[in-house]
Structure 1
Amino acid sequence: MPEYISSNDLRVGTCIEVDGTLYVVTAFQHTKVGKWGAIVKAKLKDLNTGLVVEKSFRAGEKVARAVLEGKRAQFMYRSGSDFHFLNLETYEEIVLPEEVVGDNQDFLVENLEVELLVYEGRYIAVNVPPFVDLEVVDTPPGVRGDTASGGSKPATLETGLTIQVPLFVNRGDRVRIDTRTREYLERV
């Protein structure tokens, strides 16, 4: 039997099930529309397709909450479009397709500990830590006094992700990245 929550309790990151589809709330807003009463407008990301849709709920309407199970795992390697993880509790190998890993593949390096989200026995997403340290594999040399570009330059990291870094960052440096915003934080 599913667990129900009030639409007033929706928050960013809450997983819900609407019409048999699994969504995660990415934004929400409570509004009052004249004499009609309050409504909750929510932006929902479909966990299967990645599409974002907008839905409106009456204030206090019951919504089915999707209860997700998190499994600790370690990223091992990638082969083609498959990603191989090691379940840290059972030590079994888990192979997930690129569609499940999504954009988080830009942060996966060997031995990185992640959380695999499971819903009704199937893997639906991979959560990476909020911060990861990656090596810079390519970046142009920073020229002293060249701040016309705002004091930053592009850098390609070991996973293939390209971000903006300060001029003092060089090839071979390790940098800390915020995985939520995909931005440079500091050199480590």
Structure 2
Amino acid sequence: MISAGDFKNGLTIELEGNVFQIVDFQHVKPGKGAAFVRTKMKNIKNGGVVEKTFRPTEKFPPAHIERTDMQYLYTDGDLYYFMDVETFDQIALNEDMIGDSLKFVRENDMVKMISHNGDIFAVEPPMFAELEVTECEPGEKGNTATGATKPCTVETGAVVYVPLFVNLGDKLKIDTRTGEYLSRV
């Protein structure tokens, strides 16, 4: 059991049948009255953020979040298939669970399955992806006093805004969390 007085950023706890991750916390000791802990917590399963206050002596069970490496195999309709590379077990997840987390992931790339008590609730792509540009308009010279960008489509079908010097066939390094262009490879 974890007491509210021992909260740290990134800690996961079970509360009211849900799993929450501590985003921010603050120990408050007012001049009058008892001390308390003010927290901002993110619901891991649905992404909602709530603010709650607790007495420092309140205790909560820790939530164990598992991250498993799996290989993204293919898509069939609205099902996405993944394989555990050690046991060769395959699982299928529907489009609602995936969201746009596979926007920069090619077939046969490795991803992390995030689960709690065996229930997968998120797919985490690698932090960076190296993808080839498949569609791109030529850059127009001229009005480039600031960092001008143009939209380009990469091999997974995602659109990334890149500098004007990027051309068709270039390999790009992309931050998968923000979808931003980082560099050419």
In which range does the TM-score fall when normalised by the shorter chain? 0.7 to 0.9
* Residues 72 and 89 in structure 1, CA contact (< 8 A), matched pair in contact too: no
**Offset at 1:31?**
5.1
**Offset at 1:119?**
1.7
User: How many Å separate the matches in 2 of 1:132 and 1:161?
Assistant: 12
Aligned to 2:120: 123
User: How many Å separate the matches in 1 of 2:178 and 2:58?
Assistant: 32
Aligned to 2:66: 69
* Alignment of 1:83 onto 2:80: yes
* Alignment of 1:54 onto 2:24: no
* Alignment of 1:134 onto 2:127: no
Alignment partner of 2:28 out of 23, 32, 37: 32
* Residues 20 and 41 in structure 2, CA contact (< 8 A), matched pair in contact too: no
Aligned to 2:9: 11
Q: Of the two, which has the highest radius of gyration? A: 2
User: How many Å separate the matches in 2 of 1:37 and 1:117?
Assistant: 35
Larger helix percent? 1
Report the TM-score, using the length of structure 2 for normalisation. Answer: 0.84
Say what the alpha-carbon RMSD is for the aligned residues: 2.3
What amino acid maps onto 1:169 in structure 2?
V
Q: Unmatched 5+ residue regions in structure 1?
A: none
The percentage of counterpart residues that share the same residue type is 38
3-state SS of the aligned residue for 2:100?
helix
Report the TM-score, using the length of structure 1 for normalisation. Answer: 0.82
Number of matched pairs: 182
User: How many Å separate the matches in 1 of 2:55 and 2:147?
Assistant: 46
Query: Closer, same or farther in 2 for the Cα pair 1:9/1:29, shift >3 Å?
Result: closer
Query: Closer, same or farther in 2 for the Cα pair 1:158/1:61, shift >3 Å?
Result: farther
* Alignment of 1:112 onto 2:86: no
* Alignment of 1:165 onto 2:162: yes
Q: Unmatched 5+ residue regions in structure 2?
A: none
Aligned to 2:148: 151
